[in-house]
Amino acid sequence: MDNLSSHRTTDVLLFLLAHPRWEMVFQPKYAAYLNLIEPWWKILRSLALAGRRFESWDEITEAIHRATVYWNAHRHPFVWGKRRRHRPRRSPGIALLPRAT
């Protein structure tokens, strides 16, 4: 769970006391990528909401619906933990200059 203040309200804490099988696990503030909903929000914003202006809720709902239909039509497995900046550098291949020894 993220660190939203509503997750720590009295009602939530009372619910947890009444249901001991439930356990809240809060992720670190610096590790939003651990929350799997975050990549989906990023995709949804880029497909449906970014750079657009809406005049009504119906337009927003339709844009989200179209983005979801598009995403489902072009689905591919989500590989968790394979962030681009952590990929190893590619070797330059044939363009590599010979080493002078």
* Average pLDDT, consecutive stretches of 10 residues, N- to C-terminus, the chain (101 residues): 75 90 80 74 88 92 92 78 59 63 60
**Element (DSSP H or E) covering residue 37:** helix 37-44
Q: Which pLDDT does position 42 carry in this prediction?
A: 85
The DSSP symbol for 98 reads P
What are the structural domain ranges in the chain? 1-29, 36-76
Residues 48, 62 contacting (CB under 8 angstroms): no
Q: Which pLDDT does position 56 carry in this prediction?
A: 93
Q: Which pLDDT does position 93 carry in this prediction?
A: 61
pTM exceeds 0.75, yes or no: no
